[in-house]
């Protein structure tokens, strides 16, 4: 089925000038960008987005990293988009990521791992709504 998923190009990848390269991977894989913006997250925004991780030992470092510079946030649309996007990203830890995935090619560590993607349809809906209003989403009709 056609799905939507949520994507972040994290501060490390933005700093390395990889926005276009990463967008190219999405588009080559048949995922369409239906909303996008650059944002420098506040501490409150980052803490709220990652609230499910608030008790994890890496939470402070995660919020600090995610607020260290601008990110690109986007909504991707396509067949089986949640899983397709996760395949393109590769494993959370770049040391475990398959060759040719975004994390294998562009991430330095599990903390600075270039990209984020929703892990399921329910989290995709929540994460999209966290950053985008309905009017900001541009469904593709051609
Ligand atoms: P992300 O998909 O953005 O979701 C939470 C982030 O926490 C994750 O990517 C990693 O960059 C980071 N992180 C750091 N340590 C861990 C860990 N042990 N397990 C999962 N995520 C971690």
Work out the average pLDDT over 105-127.
Answer: 98
pLDDT band at 80 (very low <50, low <70, confident <90, very high): very high
Supply the pLDDT for residue 141: 85
Active site residues: 116
- DSSP structure class, residue 31: -
Strand order in the sheet with 115-117: 32-39, 71-79, 2-9, 115-117
Reduced to 3 states (helix: H, G, I; strand: E, B; else coil), residue 51 is: helix
Work out the average pLDDT over 4-27.
Answer: 98
When the pLDDT of each residue in the chain is averaged and rounded to a whole number, the result is 98
Supply the pLDDT for residue 133: 98
Orientation of helix 81-89 relative to helix 19-28, angle to 10°: 130
- For ligand 1, pick from 54, 58, 65, 126 the residue to mutate: most ligand atoms within 8 Å of CB: 58
CA of 62 to the centre of ligand 1 (A): 7
The pLDDT of residue 97 is above 90: yes
Supply the pLDDT for residue 139: 86
Count of C-beta atoms within a 10 Å radius of residue 112? 17
Q: From the CA of 117, give the closest atom in ligand 1.
A: 2
The pLDDT of residue 112 is above 90: yes
Supply the pLDDT for residue 142: 86
CA of 67 to the centre of ligand 1 (A): 15
Name the nearest CA neighbour of 140 among 19, 35, 5.
35
Q: Of all residues in the chain, what percent carry a pLDDT higher than 70?
A: 100
Q: What is the pTM of this model?
A: 0.98
The pLDDT of residue 63 is above 90: yes
CA of 116 to the centre of ligand 1 (A): 9
ipTM exceeds 0.90: yes
Q: Return all residues near 11 (Cβ < 8 A) that are at least 6 apart.
A: 65, 66, 68, 69, 70, 71, 112
Q: From the CA of 53, give the closest atom in ligand 1.
A: 5
CA of 50 to the centre of ligand 1 (A): 10
- Ligand 1, pocket residues at CB < 6 Å: 53, 58, 62, 92, 110-111, 113, 116
Furthest C-alpha separation in the chain: 45
Q: Return all residues near 140 (Cβ < 8 A) that are at least 6 apart.
A: 32, 34, 77
- CA dist., res. 35 & res. 74, Å (int): 5
Q: How far is CA 142 from CA 34, 99, 138, in A?
A: 12, 32, 11
The pLDDT of residue 35 is above 90: yes
């Amino acid at each position: 089925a056609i799905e939507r998923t949520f994507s972040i190009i994290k501060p490390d990848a933005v700093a390395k000038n990889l926005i276009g390269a990463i967008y190219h991977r999405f588009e080559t894989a048949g995922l369409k960008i239906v909303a996008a913006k650059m944002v420098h997250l506040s501490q409150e925004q980052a803490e709220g987005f990652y609230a499910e991780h608030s008790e994890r030992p890496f939470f402070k470092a995660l919020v600090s990293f995610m607020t260290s510079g601008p990110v690109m946030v986007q909504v991707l649309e396509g067949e089986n988009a949640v899983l397709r996007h996760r395949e393109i990203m590769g494993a959370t830890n770049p040391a475990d990521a398959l060759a040719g995935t975004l994390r294998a090619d562009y991430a330095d560590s599990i903390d600075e791992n270039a990209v984020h993607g929703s892990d399921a349809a329910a989290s995709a809906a929540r994460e999209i709504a966290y950053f985008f209003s309905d009017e900001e989403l541009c469904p593709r009709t051609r």
